[in-house]
Amino acid sequence: MLQKAILCKASYNDADPRFTTVGDLRFGLIGSTLVFRGTANWRNVMRDLFVVPLRSRSGYLSHGGVARAEHVLWDHVIAKLYGASLNNVHVTGHSFGGGLALNFARALRLPVTTFGCLRNDYRFGAPPPTIEHTRIVCDDDPVTMVPRILYKHTCDAVVLHDRDGGIDVKDHGIDVYIRRLAACGG
């Protein structure tokens, strides 16, 4: 899990040539790990705020901003995966990138690990396809709790604790996830 979190951090470095930028979105295939970057700019924030449910590639209703981003990236990601053995690919992402990772993993039937993923699954729609999903959250990360009214998480979380008991947006940063994973042996 720690190595996947470190790859998520690398996705925020615009100078890292292992990643592809498409408009305001960024992803990379590093070895056998498909990585999606989370919110890093104003256009990403606007995607975060677009909560109207839309169909994802696998046919279920998803967070609208995530579903739109998935459609923008689809052909680029498939081209990057061309020739890769999907049997070995694992998908990961942080924050909004976790929502993208989840959507791509479901559409391609791949295992996924998300860090600080926003709620992505429409509460009132048909259940999305079941896949192997490891959802990592920091106990005080508020992003994992929104948007609460329309969306839910569909699997239990592995919770990384700091025991300070306070909701804090600083607990959402990928560096916090890396530190807590390293402290517990990753």
Structural domain boundaries of the chain?
2-183
Res. 163: pLDDT tops 90: no
Q: At residue 133, does pLDDT exceed 90?
A: yes
pLDDT, residue 11, reads 98
Is residue 154 within 8 Å of 128, Cβ to Cβ?
yes
The answer, yes or no, to whether residue 165 has pLDDT greater than 90, is: no
Q: Tell me the pTM.
A: 0.95
* Average pLDDT rounded to a whole number, residues 106-133: 93
Q: How far apart are CA 152 and CA 36, in angstroms?
A: 20
Q: What is the Cα–Cα distance from 1 to 19, expressed in whole angstroms? A: 20
Evaluate if residue 82 carries a pLDDT over 80.
Answer: yes
- pLDDT for 168 beyond 80: no
Average pLDDT over residues 88-112: 97
Amino acid residing at 41? N
| Domain covering 2-183 in this structure, CATH number | 3.40.50.1820
What's the rounded Cα separation, in Å, for the pair 145 and 171? Answer: 13
Higher pLDDT among residues 184 and 12, named by residue: 12
Residue 87 makes CB contacts below 8 A (sequence gap 6+) with none
Angle in degrees, CA 61, 66, 70, rounded to 5: 95
Residue 140: what pLDDT? 86
Confidence of residue 146 (pLDDT cuts 50, 70, 90): confident
> For residue 174, is pLDDT > 80?
yes
Share above pLDDT 70 across residues of the chain, in percent, rounded to a whole number: 99
pLDDT in tens, 20-68: 999 999 999 999 999 999 999 999 999 999 999 999 998 999 999 999 9
